[in-house]
Amino acid sequence: MTSATRQEQLAAIFKSATVIPVLTIERVEDAVPLARALVERGYRVFLASRNESELRQRAETIERDFNTSIGWSRADLRNAVECRALVATAEAFLGRIDVLINNAGVGWYKPFMDWSDGEILELLALNLAAPMLLAHAVLPGMLARGRGYIVNVASDLARRPLANMAPYVGSKFGLLGFGTSLHREVRDRGVRLTTVMPGVIDSAFNGALEGTKDPRWALPPSALATRIVDLLALPYNVVIDELTIHPAGGDY
Ligand SMILES: NC(=O)c1ccc[n+]([C@@H]2O[C@H](COP(=O)([O-])OP(=O)(O)OC[C@H]3O[C@@H](n4cnc5c(N)ncnc54)[C@H](OP(=O)(O)O)[C@@H]3O)[C@@H](O)[C@H]2O)c1
């Protein structure tokens, strides 16, 4: 198949996609900006995190606001079986998964010797293994259809060492390495991948109170959400491999 024919085929495939199904991994309250931005742009959304009552309550709010149906499912992504079960449930609801947004992550700010074995393993399971397992589960469908997009939310700490967050930084360096390497395997088969590297976000990360940080040095989640949705709107033959985004006044 000549590359011209392949280009025409990819263009046709993306033109045909009226409603693009998206599986996004995060708490609904965090996802509101992202789910809202996705639904507003015509994406069908399936959400996942650990808190079932919160997911149900918030999903109903979005459904009412947008007169649409949002899929959701409780999943603890530190567990490999739950990662695969989540993809099967999302595929059953959405019909197929064209976009996977890996956003879930944890981290603690403390000297390395104060980290327990359990904390190190839990963090690596969620921040690094879960995105790999979810990509492994959604890729067969994406590759078979010749189209797909994976967005991994790493951190600007994927390229910047920081004391007192060593395991977290290690997981984000790892996520960047995994994503950019995987992309080299799948990019000529219609699958794109972007690693998003935000600076400080005004979220509930590490037990913080969302919406309380000084906007000069903390990103509002909606700013990140909109940039992620913009990535998906790029022409099929364009990809931003790495997106670093900072609060304008941030120290980095
Ligand atoms: N906050 C920052 O300054 C910052 C900066 C750069 C990058 N990041 C990255 O941005 C991403 C989002 O973090 P955030 O700032 O929005 O923090 P957050 O408010 O704490 O959100 C973390 C999300 O991960 C979900 N989660 C945690 N453990 C989970 C598990 N075991 N299974 C499934 N879902 C789980 C949480 O939902 P449940 O608790 O309901 O499960 C929540 O939706 C993370 O990957 C983080 O590393 C954050």
DSSP codes of every residue in 75-125: --TTSHHHHHHHHHHHHHHHSS-SEEEE-------S-GGG--HHHHHHHHI
The DSSP line for 160-224 is S--TT-HHHHHHHHHHHHHHHHHHHHHGGGTEEEEEEEE--BSSSGGGPPTT-S-TTSSB-HHHH
Looking at the predicted structure, is the pLDDT value of residue 1 above 70? no
CA–centroid distance, 132 to ligand 1, in Å, is 16
Residue 144: enclosing H or E segment and its boundaries? helix 130-145
Q: What is the structure's pLDDT at 3?
A: 56
DSSP state of 129: I
Query: Looking at ligand 1, which residue's alpha carbon is closest to its atom 47?
Result: 105
User: 124 — phi, psi (to 5°)?
Assistant: -65, -35
**Is pLDDT above 60 for 26?**
no
For residues 22-32, give the mean pLDDT.
Answer: 52
Q: What is the pLDDT of residue 8?
A: 54
Give percent of the chain above pLDDT 90: 68
CA 206 to centroid of ligand 1, rounded, Å: 8
Average pLDDT over residues 211-220: 90
The Å distance, Cα 83 to ligand 1 centre, comes to 16
Report the DSSP pairing between strands 242-245 and 191-198: parallel
Catalytic residue among 149, 168, 236, 252: 168
Is the pLDDT at 22 greater than 90, yes or no? no
The dihedral through the CA atoms of 105, 111, 116, 121 has a sign that is positive
| pLDDT at res. 124 | 98
pLDDT digits (tens, 9 = 90+) for 117-170: 999 999 999 999 999 999 999 999 999 999 999 999 999 999 999 999 999 999
* 168 annotated active-site: yes
Question: Which amino acid is residue 27, in one-letter code?
Answer: R
Complete domains list, the chain, with CATH = 6-245 (3.40.50.720)
Ligand 1, atom 45: nearest CA belongs to which residue? 105
In the three-class reduction of DSSP (H, G, I as helix; E, B as strand; rest coil), residue 43 is classed as coil
- pTM of the predicted structure, to 2 decimals: 0.90
Distance 154 CA to ligand 1 centre (A): 10
Half-sphere exposure of 32 (CA within 13 A, CB side): 15
Atom number in ligand 1 closest to CA 82: 32
Distance in angstroms (rounded) separating the CA atoms of residues 52 and 58:
10
Residues with C-beta less than 6 Å from any ligand 1 atom: 26-27, 30, 49-51, 75-78, 103-107, 126, 153, 155, 198, 200-201, 203-205
Nearest CA-CA partner of 149 in 185, 186, 122: 186
Number of other residues whose CB lies within 10 A of the CB of residue 120:
16
Give the pLDDT mean for 10-14. Answer: 47
